[in-house]
Structure 1
Amino acid sequence: MNAFNQSEMGALLLEREVEPRDLPPHELLDVVMARQFGTDYQPIVDVQSTEMLGYQAHAHFWARNGRPLDAHKLQTNLRKNPLLLFHLELELKKLQIAKFPGEGWLMLNLDMESFFAGGEDTTNPFLALFGEHAWSEREIVINVMQHHSMHDAFRIHHMMDLLQQSGTSVALEDAGLSWGMFSLSAFLDAVIVKFSSRALLELDGKAAQAMVDWLVSAARKIGVQTLMTDVDTCAALDWARKMRVDCVQGRLFSKHNLHVHSLLN
């Protein structure tokens, strides 16, 4: 196993990303079967104390020549082959859990299509994997990635129910901003609601402040944590403190990033 240090990883990611659709089928298959993927861990920090609460794992993929692949586009491309998508995501989650060196939250991004490729009941292998670590020093929190159709909203709620029944906590991505099927029941079922400071900057100042004030106030009353992402400056951190957000994540804390672990040969 190789581990890229931050400078090597930075140099690698400066290269233009390869479009997954431009890869011939056998090279796309290589990404999955030859395990040309890795993970890094971005810190989640308590706003008031700046104590490290945990990390969120982010996936990286490479083509045969070492050029990086866009993770979202790769996942979208593989939806044409649900079995391959399922295999990739399950192996990636195993890697992200195995290489996590810390304690506290381990937040894992999981797309609905990837999850349901493993089945729509309690026999889903993701549930068994997460359940193995339910009582460990890490707390696995599944970050439910956003979708925009009403049909997806119903399936997302089913996914959340299955995860919670197995003892796995759930976080909502960009709650109340770009997630079109945001609902009160989803809000009540989550342990963490996430929203981007970068997305908020695109709103009118008063609207952004009102949105955060409402989310933080409502979350606090029902015992849900709030997490502001894309906190890249001291000004953004100060604003999060002023708005009483619980925890933050972003490039401001990049000095705490861990190495990227990869199974590239």
Structure 2
Amino acid sequence: MSSYSPVMDRLALLELVDRQRFGVEYQPIIDTSNGAVIGYEALARFFNHRGELITPLSVFQSLHDSPLMLAQVELQLKRLQIRFRPKGSTLFLNIDPHAFAVFGPAESTNVMAKMLTENENLVVELIENTDLNDAHISNEVAELMHQKGVAIALDDVGAPGTMVSLTILSNVDFIKFDRHWISGDSCQSKSMKQLFKSLIGYAQLSGKQTILEGVESAEDLAYAVKIGVDYVQGFFYKELFIQEYCGN
């Protein structure tokens, strides 16, 4: 959640939550070695009363003003994303550490933790940290998930305005690189290109798997293969996206 988007009107937000105008889009994650789909990332989608898409970022930024409502919506979204998941595939789920923390640290009373650990073939994606408190919560989530055998991915690595917790980076199973590495201004910098290669090399040496997000063209895919990325996802594979609308 590194980009700015205007927050929603409060009444519109309440109407959206009350009517549960939620959807989910499953984007395939593709093996660069053979083109096979190895899993899907579940992405939240929101709609207004006319059925028009609302920018997810604006909804989540508004929800962050109310931790309890954020937690409630996140729990509903995860249940829907698990319910409609493509059968037989690994499911990557984004978890907001602030929402997770509302339910408490104890697994026995944290309904979101219970739901995640009771489902098989899940990878929990942690949103990259923007402050030390986020890093602390994300570390707690990662430790709990690993204790229960749930794989962890660090999301949006390299996105503008984000930070990297080295502790989390060292503990995750997947490193997901933001499209900024191949499309942003800094991707033209020699030092940034070397940093990208070094991070991929680190992942390979430490047994972690890498995913490049935002692949939109054959050229993007070719670069991912050349640099040694394990998996890719993005609009280049739009025909494989799966959408479900779950609202009233």
Partner deviation per Cα, 1:177-222 (whole Å, 9 max, x = no partner)? 5531330x21221110011233443213423331221111111111
2-structure distance, mates of 1:186, 1:91: 26
Report if aligned partners of 1:20, 1:69 keep a CA contact under 8 Å in 2.
no
- Given that 1:219 and 1:225 are in contact with CA atoms closer than 8 Å, whether structure 2 keeps it comes out as yes
Distance across 2 between alignment mates of 1:251 and 1:67: 20
Pick the aligned partner of 2:223 from 233, 239, 254.
239
Query: Shift of the alpha carbon at 1:65?
Result: 3.3
Alpha carbons 2:117, 2:145 under 8 Å: kept: no
Aligned to 2:136: 154
TM-aligned CA distance change 1:264 to 1:19, over 3 Å = farther
Opposite residue 240 of structure 1, the aligned amino acid is A
Equivalence map 1:110-259=2 (5 Å) = 110-122=95-107, 123-134=109-120, 139-175=121-157, 178=160, 179-183=162-166, 185-201=167-183, 202-203=185-186, 204-258=188-242
Deviations 1:148-170 (A, max 9, x none): 11232222212211222233211
Cα distance, 1:142 vs structure 2? 1.2
Verify the 8 A CA contact 1:20 1:70 in the aligned structure 2. no
Taking the aligned partners of 2:204 and 2:14, their CA distance within structure 1 comes to: 45
Mapped partners of 1:200, 1:208: distance in 2: 10
Structure 2 partner of 1:80: 65
- 1:88-127 alignment runs, 5 A limit: 88-122=73-107, 123-127=109-113
Cα-Cα RMSD: 1.9
TM-score (norm 1): 0.84
When structure 1 is superposed on structure 2, of 220-229 and 192-201 the one drifting more is: 192-201
8 Å Cα contact 1:62/1:68 also seen in 2: yes
Report the more deviating stretch, 41-50 or 170-179: 170-179
> Any conservation in 2 of the 1:54–1:102 contact (CA below 8 Å)?
no
CA contact (8 A) 2:97 2:141 kept: yes
CA displacement at 1:23 relative to structure 2: 4.3
Task: Give per-residue Cα distances to partners, 1:17-70, cap 9 Å, x unaligned.
Answer: x9653242xx42232232110101001000111111111011111223333222
- Mapped contact 2:158–2:178 kept (Cα < 8 A): no
Residue identity opposite 1:21 in structure 2 = M
Compute the TM-score of the two structures, normalised by the length of structure 2: 0.89
1:262 lines up with 2:245 in the alignment: yes
Identity of aligned residues (%): 28
Structure 2: which 5+ residue stretches go unaligned? Answer: none
| Paired residue type of 1:115 | F
Alignment of 1:22 with 2:9, yes or no, is yes
Amino acid at match of 2:119: H
Aligned partner letter, 2:227 = M
2:31 alignment partner, one of 46, 49, 58: 46
List alignment gaps of at least 5 residues for structure 1: 1-17
Q: Is the 8 A contact 2:159 2:180 kept in 1?
A: no
The residue type paired with residue 131 of structure 1 is T
Pairwise CA distance, 1:245: 0.7
SS in 1 for 2:199: helix
Q: Secondary structure at the match of 2:157?
A: coil
Q: 51, 65, 89: which is aligned to 1:66?
A: 51
Is the CA contact 1:40–1:261 (under 8 Å) kept in the aligned structure 2?
yes
Deviation, structure 1 residue 248: 0.4
2: CA distance between counterparts of 1:72 and 1:121?
29
Letter in 2 for 1:117: V
